Amino acid sequence: DPDATKFYLITGGSAGDADSTTAAAAKISAAVAWTTSGSVTTYVAIVDDNSTGIYKWIDASTAGAASSELTLVGSIDAVLASSAFAFS
């Protein structure tokens, strides 16, 4: 299940994976066998070959992600590694 206390970083994407909610939803769904038991809000960064998209994901109790559940909150024209993110 997606966890509201976590920030997910999905790397190794192909061209375009970070650029649209449809492509991001497919990449999120393929990353893990997501199951869900209730509505959860979390954040996901998708890294493709030349950019990084950060999405707010409001999971509506479906397995995997749907494009309608994602909102782009940030787009960076660079491939970011996990060391680029710091949380406290």
Residue 83 CA to residue 37 CA, distance in Å, equals 31
Q: Provide the whole-model pTM.
A: 0.88
Tell me, what's the pLDDT at 61? 73
pLDDT of amino acid 83: 85
Strand order in the sheet with 7-10: 7-10, 40-47, 52-59, 70-76
Per-residue model confidence as pLDDT tens for the chain (88 residues): 678 888 899 999 999 999 999 999 999 999 988 876 678 889 999 999 999 999 999 988 777 899 999 999 999 999 998 888 877 6
